Amino acid sequence: MPNLPVAKVPGHVDTQPLDVLERNVVEVTLPAVIDNLVRQPDPATEAPEPAAREVVFTGSFEEVNRLFLENQWSEGLPIVPPTIEAVEAFLEMTPLPAEHSLGPLLPDNRAATIWSVAVNGVMAGCRPEYMPVLVAVAEAMADPAYGVEHSGNTPGADTLITLNGPIARQLGFNDEQGVLRDGFQANTTVGRFLRLYLRNVAGFLPWQTDKATYGNTWRVAMAENEAVLARIGWEPSSADFGFAAGDNVVTISRYTGGEVVTSVFGQTPEQMLDYLADSLVRITGWELVFTIGVAGGSYRPLLLLPPVLAETIAAAGWSRADLKQALWERARMPASRFEKYLGEWTNLVPGRRALVDFVNTRKAPPVYGESNDPDRLVPIVPTPGHLGIAVTGDPLRTNAYVFAHNGMLGYPTAKAVRLVDDWDSRLARARAR
């Protein structure tokens, strides 16, 4: 509804004294409401969009990039001009036809077509052989469970793409040292693709539909180290979504921030646990409203383990599930602090209520209401299964990493990577270009 009238309240209602808020509403907001009700808004107009194969511009590299910047089709970095020839090279790498739609993307409600995936993949600097991964990313974005419509919300969380399966190393994704840093074409350009797709297809534009207070720069795509997982007998993180080891899978999830856990020490899992669990607790704050409150049970923090730590833990006979259980038992905070995040330090859950009240009204599981002691320790998530664990990063370092999750506003969603039947031959041709 591009012509919907709006009446603003000056400032922010959460930080104004009541007398100031009342004056602002009466003197500014109310007159605007009345004016909007009695005045016919300007007719809504919809700008026409070119057809998929329509050439909208011809010119030099510099001229093309100037055009894209002027139309907000780029995030500020140079793009690779999406010529028809370049786009068709991407289309050769997927079994789906160009006009196939993966679903609509809010807020613009534009179809996520295979053609638009290829166009934005070219722009991002991807290689044609990355196309199956890009399609899986777009398919996950179009899944209602992910909640792409929340991509412009004010905390400014950004999406992490995780890749599992043999396709990762086949395409040259880095899964070792510097796994979260740019510098590797596959990781970097696939990560950039998601941000361009949010802009150009979903319709998230800065100062308009993207309302991040601070925001994050887009994250590079992350590959899990499948070789290490096979060696220690752990299933990949994609197993949390029903996939088996060896399946090519893309998972996307939005995280509000991350923090390194430096120099984890210990020769046994027990010696490492307190530090790792403490890190999960320290990075978790207002996000607890996704544990209890707003879409309760949707908080999914993520722990990245480097191979050397995972190997030590597995050598003690621990499975990935064992580690989740042990972390869940230790990643806890005093109930009084948990409650402050819900209704005292924030207003995200209306009213100041004890955790026991949430349990009594069946809005929280029993583990949060075992007593009324404000100093009792309660978990940051209801069950061990809500903790994510992935093995990746420098194989010779003991630094781990933790991410705080944005709950239902970017819920973890996984999709299979679909390959053409003659994938190996097409891959060879793509690499020979």
The tokens for 293 are: 């409150």
189 domain-assigned: yes
133 domain-assigned: yes
Q: What is the pLDDT of residues 112-155, one digit of tens each?
A: 999 999 999 999 999 999 999 999 999 999 999 999 999 999 99
Question: In terms of Cα–Cα distance, which of 117, 108, 115, 120 is closest to 136?
Answer: 117
Please tell me the total count of domains within the chain: 1
Do the Cβ atoms of 365 and 381 come closer than 8 Å?
Answer: no
132 domain-assigned: yes
Mean pLDDT of successive 10-residue stretches along the chain, which has 433 residues: 87 92 96 95 84 92 97 96 97 98 96 98 98 98 97 96 98 98 97 98 95 93 98 98 98 97 97 98 97 93 98 98 98 97 87 89 94 97 98 97 97 98 96 88
45 domain-assigned: no
374 domain-assigned: no
Could you tell me the pTM of the whole model? 0.95
344 domain-assigned: no
Torsion of the alpha carbons at 190, 191, 196 and 199, rounded to the nearest 10: 140
Q: Give whole-number Cα distances, 196 to 56, 79, 161, 213, in Å.
A: 18, 10, 14, 19
176: DSSP letter: S
Q: What is the pLDDT of residues 355-396, one digit of tens each?
A: 999 999 999 999 999 999 999 999 999 999 999 999 999 999
Q: Please report, rounded to a whole number, the percentage of residues in the chain having pLDDT higher than 70.
A: 100
Domain housing 71: 61-331+380-432
26 domain-assigned: no
188 domain-assigned: yes
